Amino acid sequence: MAELATPLLTLYETYHFGLSGMTRDQLYVERDCFYFTLNAVLSHPQNRLCNGQYKLLFWDNDPGLSKC
């Protein structure tokens, strides 16, 4: 599942280092869209193998790359 989040991490890193030109609000809109889209894909009725087999975590604050 971590591979699916790689584009989101890349987007965050480009925001964090000032390369994307996005505001924090724009970044959070993208984060929210990713979360809800991934949840819809994983919980789709035709995706029975994943239904009930995962838990998406949602952090509503800046993870702060400097802590890594």
Model confidence at 66: pLDDT above 50: no
Structure tokens at 34: 């990713």
Higher pLDDT, 5 or 40: 40
pLDDT at position 23 is: 92
Q: What is the DSSP string of 5-42?
A: HHHHHHHHHHHHTT-S---HHHHHHHHHHHHHHHHHHH
Model confidence pTM above 0.85: no
d(CA 45, CA 50): 9
